[in-house]
């Protein structure tokens, strides 16, 4: 059997996205390659979610080009996504994961064992039988991660996955993200949380007003930001 083609690098070439005369992204050129997590930061409306949707192949640019491993299309089989408020299917926690495994094409006989592994990884083994909608916010976010990992993704896009979580749950999610990244899965994550960006990022992309203002390795971004917007962001000033 032929190995699936790699989705990486995901290249954005002069990408613009507009909706009803409003520019959401302008002239975005960016390469997402294998390696440590890429963290997208920026204020609300900066275009972070749109960039993630483009990377997932869930939206098309109005102008410019997005490619996955040199191809103009992706079937999305090895792309996973977790949104800020993931929707739980009206099933048990366990069934949510087996559903994701089914959509990923995993054979019926292998789903139960794999689901148990994924739930263990998300520290949800003891919640397997509970209705997913009754889980706490943190548990739901971890279940969404388990579901996304069911696809055995090469790239995992996370849209502010800890925005509404307390520190303990944030830590739990971050531990999963770090473990996932250590396994070689490319994590692309949007966040408002500068501290989280410091803890997780290999490189940082600062988006303001739909444009990339700075893209640099995390250490460089935080120690010597090159643009006034990045400097203001790092100082903790309000960047609008």
**Minimal CA–CA distance to 212: which of 32, 37, 36?**
32
Tell the smallest beta-carbon distance from residue 67 to another protein (Å).
19
Least distance to another protein from the beta carbon of 53, Å?
9
Considering only CA atoms, which of 7, 170, 166 is closest in space to residue 81?
7
Which whole-number Å values give the CA distances from 167 to 34, 170, 195, 233, in the listed order? Answer: 28, 5, 12, 21
Shortest Å, Cβ 76 to another protein: 5
Q: Which is nearer to another protein, 25 or 156 (CB)?
A: 156
Shortest CB 81 distance to another protein, Å: 4
Q: Which residue, 11 or 89, has its beta carbon nearer to another protein?
A: 89
Q: Which is nearer to another protein, 48 or 215 (CB)?
A: 48
Which is nearer to another protein, 86 or 210 (by Cβ)? Answer: 86
Instruction: Order the strands of the 211-217 sheet from edge to edge.
Output: 79-82, 155-159, 186-191, 38-41, 203-208, 211-217
CB of 120 to another protein, least distance (A): 21
Contact residues for another protein, defined by CB under 8 A: 56, 58, 75-77, 80-81, 83, 86-92, 99-100, 103-104, 130-134, 147, 151
Q: 């919640």: which residue's tokens?
A: 127
The two three-digit tokens of residue 24, written as one number: 């959401």
Measured from the CB atom, is 103 or 220 closer to another protein?
103
Give min distance, CB of 183 to another protein, in A.
Answer: 20
Q: Which of 83, 162 has the CB closer to another protein?
A: 83
d(CA 230, CA 210): 15
């Amino acid at each position: 059997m032929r190995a699936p083609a790699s989705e990486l690098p995901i290249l954005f070439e002069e990408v613009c996205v507009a909706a009803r005369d409003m520019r959401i992204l302008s002239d975005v050129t960016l390469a997402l390659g294998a390696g440590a997590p890429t963290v997208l930061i920026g204020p609300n409306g900066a275009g972070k979610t749109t960039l993630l949707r483009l990377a997932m192949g869930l939206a098309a640019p109005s102008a410019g080009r997005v490619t996955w491993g040199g191809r103009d299309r992706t079937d999305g089989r090895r792309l996973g996504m977790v949104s800020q408020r993931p929707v739980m299917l009206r099933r048990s926690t366990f069934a949510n994961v087996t559903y994701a495994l089914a959509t990923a094409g995993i054979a019926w006989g292998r789903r139960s064992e794999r689901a148990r592994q994924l739930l263990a990884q998300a520290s949800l083994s003891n919640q397997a039988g509970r209705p997913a909608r009754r889980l706490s916010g943190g548990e739901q976010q971890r279940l969404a991660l388990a579901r996304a990992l069911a696809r055995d993704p090469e790239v995992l896009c996370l849209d502010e996955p800890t925005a509404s979580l307390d520190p303990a749950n944030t830590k739990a999610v971050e531990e999963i993200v770090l473990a996932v990244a250590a396994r070689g899965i490319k994590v692309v994550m949007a966040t408002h949380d500068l501290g989280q960006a410091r803890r997780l990022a290999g490189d940082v992309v600062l988006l303001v007003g739909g444009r990339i203002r700075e893209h640099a390795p995390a250490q460089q971004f935080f120690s010597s930001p090159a643009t006034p917007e990045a400097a203001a962001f790092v100082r903790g000033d309000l960047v609008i």
